[in-house]
A and B are shown apart, each in its own frame.
Chain A
Amino acid sequence: MSVKDTSKTSKLKGFLRKYRGYQGFLFILPALILLCIFCLYPTIMAFINSFTNWDGGSTADFIWFENYKNVFSDELFWISLRNAVILTVVGMVLGNVASIILAELMYCLRSKLMPAYRFLFVLPAMIPGIIVLLLWQKLVFSGSSSGLANTIISWFGGQPLEWFSSKDTWVVFLSIFLYGFPWVGGTSFLIYLAGLNGIDRSLIEASQIDGLSFWGRIFKIDLPLISGQLKYFLVMGFIGGLQNYSMQYAITNGGPGEVIDSMQSGTMVPGYYIYRLITGSSKTGAYGYACAMGVIMFIIIMVVTLVNNKLVKSEE
């Protein structure tokens, strides 16, 4: 009897030992449930519904590749994709060049004022993004002659511009590019600065002894050694930039320019197109169409990310 008992308990112990690792699963479970409901399910449904004429209601019929065919022949989609690429590339170049210049300046600086400068440059990151956007629209790029940008133009004898509310698409693009000038507020420069601070000082001293110029040092030593940070901003910049539509959402509404399908096309981007499709579009099957566009954007973003990773790796 007692023999049987011990074998039973040892069996139980063995069972517990074998499955003790699965306790770990209990720790993961809450996160997994949340992920399944709010991320996995919507992702699967987005792929499925990209093949349907879903209009946001509870039923939908499969129309298979009809949505994809329509997206590829949709003039507004191509315009918006082109706009997103232009805005992303220009925005990334401006933002990163400015941040690297500021990081280099701070790196060269030997001063007790450094923490104060750092504090003040990060300060704008604490102000809600939408407020910064509206502030620039209302005060800097105000269409009236008393706006800050127009005041500066008038000092040089130029004509005031209407900026964001201009009928000329390129003026609106210019406003978006100039938004945030000189593009250094925030935290990006800190990440580059951390990279620069990681460079061995003796390397820079050696280069000075060898007579390497300031620019030579930046291009031959600094940039290659902060390639990790560059890669991070390259990858994140494309992922974020191709999806971004805060400017269209808060200010331009996709305008100006030709109206296609009751939407303005001038500064339209895919993210805002999708947003508009699900909020008050009269298009039949708008939700299914938005899902198909989302799938295409997903593929584009993934390919760009993989190419970026490969390019940066091969450079190393």
Chain B
Amino acid sequence: MKNVKTKSKKKITVGQIFSHIIIICLLIMVLFPFYILVINSFKSPADILKNPLSFPGSEGVEVITGAFKSAWPYISKYILNTFWVAFLEVFGVLLFASLAAYGFSRFKFKGKDALFMVFLAFMMIPGILTLATQYSLVYSTLNLKQSFAGVVLPAIAGGMPVNIFLIKTFFDGIPADVYEAAEIDGASKLGCYFKIAIPLSAPILFTVGLSTLLGAWNDVVWARLILYGAEDLYTIGVGVFTVFGSTAAKIPDTVIYAGYCLASLPLLIAFFFTSKQFIKGLTDGAVKM
């Protein structure tokens, strides 16, 4: 009996070691491009050309920090702009989507279900259908070209359907007794929204906020359509693609790589300190769909 047990244990151990090896191999392959990025931003342009895979050589401190020093004036501006755009989008989506979700969850009125269906229907409208008309509306008709408003407002509106759905589902799960108790204590509907619905829904609000943040952080196409020409307003995506990508600017490769590193840092740092909530937030939305 004992023999059988040790045998099965041993078998598991071999399988476990095998799994570890494959996972580590996969990890190395996933992370290797980022590793080359980092080592190349510490090298001189000549060394990158010679062998991009080599380890940074014995150059002086000047070379090592030089690329980061040259990249910082660009990137710091892009990071600040991206921060503003992301902040406004996250704040707008959370505020308007949670208010609407509360309206759908806690009130009864004629036509409510139909209105909710209208909101949901917009999840089916693909972005490429409305690209031309939305661009013309925001750029020309509303004259929001080269402004954060032109980037942020359509993004908030576009985030409404799915996020209202997610938040409403969560609000629906809060027991009615909790609201009733607060109403007996004299809280208004708006009071209940602030005192009960919002504090009890922190997990879903975090998820919605996070996906909006990543959307804002990654957006290039729309932001570039609206901001093009106003270099002071460029976000990370637009700046890295437009300024670093242009051959006219003649920015050395090593500065570009250092710029990529710097531009990636804010979210990486945030992820480093809150990875558990991050991972939970990233998966919760998809699982709830």
Contact = CB atoms under 8 A, between A and B. Distances in A.
Interface of A: 21-28, 30-32, 34-35, 37-43, 45-46, 49, 56, 58, 102, 105-106, 108-111, 113, 117-132, 134-136, 138-140, 142, 146-148, 151, 181-182, 184-185, 187, 190-191, 194, 232, 239, 242-243, 246, 249-250, 270-271, 274-275, 277-279, 287, 290-291, 294-295, 297-298, 301-302, 305
Nearest to B92: A34
7 contacts: A108-B16, A119-B279, A124-B30, A139-B52, A190-B279, A278-B131, A287-B132
Contacts of A139: 33, 36-37, 40, 52
Contact of A191 (B107, B115, B287): B287
A184 to B, nearest CB: 6
Contacts of B37: 135, 139
Contacts of B133: 41-43, 45-46, 49, 291
A109 B108 contact: no
B176 interface: no
Interface in B174-214: 189, 193, 214
A305 B124 contact: yes
Contacts of A274: 128, 131-132
Given A134-B260, A298-B126, A128 B217 contact: yes
B40 A43 contact: no
Contact of B128 (A187, A249, A270): A270
Contact of A297 (B49, B128, B225): B128
B103 A28 contact: yes
Contact of A122 (B53, B132, B160, B282): B282
Nearest to B107: A24
Given A24-B106, A129-B218, A294 B131 contact: yes
A234 B43 CA distance: 43
Contacts of B260: 131, 134-135
B289 interface: yes
A184 B26 contact: yes
B118 to A, nearest CB: 8
Interface residues of B, number: 95
Chain A binding surface SS class: helix
Interface in B136-186: 136-138, 140, 153-154, 156-158, 160-161, 164
Given A290-B132, A297-B126, A127 B100 contact: no
A100 B170 CA distance: 28
A9 B164 CA distance: 37
Interface string B12-29: 100110011011001101
Nearest to A270: B128
B153 A134 contact: no
Given A187-B286, A290-B131, 17 more contacts: A24-B108, A27-B193, A45-B133, A117-B27, A127-B268, A134-B244, A136-B33, A146-B49, A146-B52, A184-B26, A187-B283, A275-B128, A278-B131, A287-B132, A291-B132, A294-B132, A298-B129
B141 to A, nearest CB: 9
Contacts of A27: 99-100, 102-103, 107, 193
A134 B245 contact: yes
Contacts of B53: 146, 148, 151
Contacts of B30: 120-121, 124, 182, 184-185
Contacts of B221: 246, 249, 275
Given A126-B267, A185-B30, A287-B136, A295 B129 contact: yes
B122 interface: yes
A131 B132 contact: no
Nearest to A146: B52
Contacts of A35: 119, 122, 157, 160-161
B83 interface: no
Nearest to B116: A28
Nearest to A147: B52
